[in-house]
Structure formats: structure tokens, C-alpha cells
A and B are shown apart, each in its own frame.
Chain A
Amino acid sequence: MLDFAALLPYSHVFIHGLITTVEISLLATVLGLVLGVTFAVARQYGATWLSRVVNVYVELIRNTPFIVQLFFIFFGLPSIGFKLSAWEAGTIAMVVNLAAYSTEIIRAGLASTPKGQWEAGKVLGLSFKQTLFRVVIIPAIEKIYPALTSQCIIVMLGSAVLSQISVQDLTYAANFVQSRNFRSFESYLVTAFLYLFLAILMRKAFNLIGKRLFSYRAER
């Protein structure tokens, strides 16, 4: 027999978990994308050594499992005297992870910028910086915007792993409730729907931001 009412006494646990997941995901998305843009520019237009350093970072993160990165930050770093709380370690791991993936995605956008845009900037007397930020970057992001949106949602869903280091996120709430009332079907089903809801919400938010960001097209 299914008994969703058995979850009611734990509703505050789910709410607390939901808030934590939203908090961490929001922070990770904003910081991760800012770093992603910075690193992508460094990787694409920076000095050779800088481009190489960024490349090593990107490949290191993209080719190792998220949970290993997380355990390394939470369990590994304290042994060299760098101790973080579970919440901090989880957030940092997500920022580091998203920054690496978004660097590669945004770099692809930058790389596909037609030469003509740079040349147009040059003949108009714009500096490199002006061309980059006023001409190149927005269309570049627009090209890869769907991929970027998906990556951010993947990282938000990946935050489920943070429960492994005792971050009290949504998955932690589900595990906790399940270990108390043994209603695994109900608690994981509700949790799955909450994640689905968050993912849809996030996509809508990205679409909204995208509309404003790329409004230059509509104005024309």
C-alpha cells in the first residue's frame, strides 16, 4: 500500500532540503558561469601559458567523476590543513565543476565567431576589449545558449551527490525520511518530482534571461 500521508510529518525536512538545493545551485550557477566566461576568454585569447593552464584545469575536471572531486575537497584537503564545512565544500565542488564545463562550451561559442566581427570592430576603432564585450561575446553565448542551459541543469541535478558528504540537500532529505519511515517509493517519487519542478523552473528562468540578453535581434 502506498501511503503518501506518511511523508507529511517530514514536510519540513523536504522544504529545508529544497531550499538548500536551490541555494547551492543558484550560487554554483552564477559563480560557475562568471568563471566560465573568464576562463573561456583566457583559454581562447590569453597568452599561451595561460591558455595551457586553463586547458589543464578544464581537462582535469571534465575527465574525473564529480563525486571524486567532491570527496577530495571534503575529505582530502583537511589533511593539508584546508578544512571546509560540508556546505562550503559542496558549493565549491559544484562551482569548480560547472566552471570547467562551461569554459569549454563558451570557448566553442567564441571560436565560432566569424572573423568578420573582429575585423568590423577593428575598422571601427574599437580596442580588443571593446570588441570582445560589445560585439563578440553576446552572439557567441547565444550560439551555445541551449547547451549552456542544459549543463547548468545537469549540475543542479548533480547536486544530489552532495548528500554523500552530509550536505542537507533535497536528496539528503529523501534519504533521511526513507531511513525513518521506510517509505522509499513515496519519498523518492516526491523527490524526483521536486527535482523535475526545479529543472523546469531553471529552464524557464534561462529562457527569460536569454530573451533579455539577446534582445538586440528583436529590436532590429
Chain B
Amino acid sequence: MSMKSFFGKVLVIVASLSSIAAAQANTLEDIQQRHLIRIAVPQDFPPFGSVGLDMQPQGIDIDMANYIAKQLDVKLQLVPVTSANRIPYLQTHKVDLVISSLGKNPEREKAIDFSKAYAPFFLGVFGEKDIPVHDAADLANKTVGVTRGAIEDLELTKIAPKSTTIQRFEDNNTTLSAYLSGQVNLIATGNLVAANIAKRDPSHAPVSKFVLKNSPCYIGMMKNEPALKAKVNELISKALKDGTLNKISLKWLKAPLPKGFGE
């Protein structure tokens, strides 16, 4: 075989391969045809996904996956993933959707598509129910506990009024102890941590006062899937409207969806 004809053949093969890839995939149709949806979920990240006492997966992401499968009227196959391999699983077509507490960032947006937000994930200021704090200015002359050097510390330091006393603790657990022992009655932390306190000590459940930094969770899917994306977004909007999302949030995060969620 001459060198020229070899390269010619390679070119033909490459061209045909790329034409396959360029053809618009329709995963939604595939899902409905095989009557099965494969969804990547976490198994080591409560309350989003973990293994329950009955050895069954449980959490926000599992509830969400069940909801999507039920609405599409197809069977559900949960595929456990780690946070490092959830996007590769999607890119290699091992799963149809990733519901795995996935946050948005520019780099990920280059690789995959995102739905609307389905679960809240944010850093904020939390405190006892009856403390009248609604924004940073309300923190004047108040004391707020925070873990030193954490992102919430940096954000809070930026926006807190001069008269606010910021008590910085060594690590998350010390900050929690300070709140639970009543040494501080406002803390800046993540909503997951707040949910954890609410679970441990419901009488002192910290209520979200305002958001410092918002990074909600989205459902991830392959690019160039307009039909699938539209359908998933439609289902999320429906779940937001009929209260399904709020119910999931109440169940796992012990708090309703934050105001303005999904807008």
C-alpha cells in the first residue's frame, strides 16, 4: 500500500467518525425507547447521596432521580459515582444524567450542559429564629462566629459593618460548638452544616438570615441535547411549582428553599 493511499483511507475513516459525532444525539428518545434512564448519583455525600441503614441509596439526589424517572415513566438505574468521575461518566455515555450535587463553573460549562437549579447550596449567615437579621447591615454591633480562613470568613469580612464582632474559630466543629453552647447566636457557614445542626439539636435549628455566596446544584447532561435539556428543565420547573423541590429540601436540609430560588 502506498503511503498516499494509506493516508487517504485514514482520512476517510476520521471523516466518517466525526460525522457520527456531529450528528445530533437524541438521548431523550433513547431513554424512552429502552424504557430506562441511567443517572449518576453520589454515594458518599450526605445529605445529597449516601447509603442508608437499609443499604439503599438515599438523599436529595436520589429523590430527584426518582422524580425524573417517574415523570418520564421509565425505569431508573442509579449509578454511584465520586465527585471526580461524575463528568467523565457522562462524557463516556455511561449515564444519561448526572444528579450529583453538581455546581456550575465556567470550566464545566465548556464540557457539559446544565439544567436549571434543583437544590440550594449556599454559604450564608444563620442564627436563632428570633434574631432580626436580614442583610449584612443588620449585623452592626452583633457577634458572628465563623471558621477562620474559610470562604465564608472572607466573604463575611468583606461585607460586615465595622461594628460587627467576628469571632473566628479554629475549625468547623469548634464553630458549631460555639453556636450550640450559645457562645455565639449567629454563625456564617454552609447550608449543609446548618442542616446538620438542625438534625442534632432541633430546638436550636439555625435559620438562614441571608446568603453570602450562592452555588446551587444543577443536573448535568451532554452538550447538544436540546430535547433532553428542555424536558429536564420542564420537569424541574414543574417540581418547583408544585412544591416537590421544597419538600425535598425540607426533608434533607431541614429548611425550605431560600427565597427567590430558581428565578
The yes or no verdict on A and B being binding partners is: yes
Query: In this complex, what residue of A is CB-closest to B177?
Result: A75
Given contacts A166-B145, A179-B148, A179-B149, contact A75 B170 (CB under 8 A): no
CB distance from A171 to the nearest CB of B (A): 11
Does B168 contact A172, Cβ atoms closer than 8 Å? yes
Q: Is the interface of B mostly helix, strand, loop or mixed?
A: mixed
Does A175 contact B181, Cβ atoms closer than 8 Å? no
Does B169 contact A166, Cβ atoms closer than 8 Å? yes
- Chain B 131-173 per-residue mask, 1 if CB under 8 angstroms from chain A, else 0: 0000000000000010011000100000000000001111000
Does A74 contact B183, Cβ atoms closer than 8 Å? yes
Given contacts A74-B183, A75-B181, A75-B183, contact A176 B170 (CB under 8 A): no
- A79's partner among B149, B174, B178, B181 (CB-CB below 8 A) is B181
B243 interface contact, C-beta 8 A: no
The CA-CA distance from A33 to B169 in the complex, in Å, is: 30
- B183's partner among A78, A164, A172, A176 (CB-CB below 8 A) is A78
Contacts of B52 in A (CB 8 A): none
Contacts of A75 in B (CB 8 A): 177-178, 181, 183
Given contacts A179-B148, A179-B149, contact A78 B168 (CB under 8 A): no
A83 interface contact, C-beta 8 A: yes
Contacts of B202 in A (CB 8 A): none
The CA-CA distance from A76 to B182 in the complex, in Å, is: 10
Residues of B within 8 A of A (CB): 145, 148-149, 153, 167-170, 174, 177-178, 181-183
The CA-CA distance from A157 to B168 in the complex, in Å, is: 21
A12-32 interface (Cβ within 8 A of B): none
- Chain A 168-192 per-residue mask, 1 if CB under 8 angstroms from chain B, else 0: 0000100110011000000000000
Contacts of A37 in B (CB 8 A): none
Given contacts A74-B183, A78-B183, A86-B183, contact A175 B167 (CB under 8 A): no
Query: In this complex, what residue of A is CB-closest to B150?
Result: A179
Q: A74-B183, A165-B178, A179-B148 are in contact. List 16 more A-B contacts (CB 8 A).
A: A75-B181, A75-B183, A76-B181, A78-B183, A79-B181, A83-B182, A83-B183, A86-B167, A163-B170, A164-B174, A166-B145, A166-B168, A172-B168, A175-B148, A175-B170, A176-B148
The CA-CA distance from A85 to B153 in the complex, in Å, is: 20
The CA-CA distance from A132 to B7 in the complex, in Å, is: 107
The CA-CA distance from A179 to B157 in the complex, in Å, is: 13
Given contacts A164-B174, A175-B148, A176-B148, contact A78 B181 (CB under 8 A): yes
Instruction: List the 4 closest A-B pairs by CB distance, nearest first.
Output: A179-B149, A166-B167, A78-B181, A75-B181
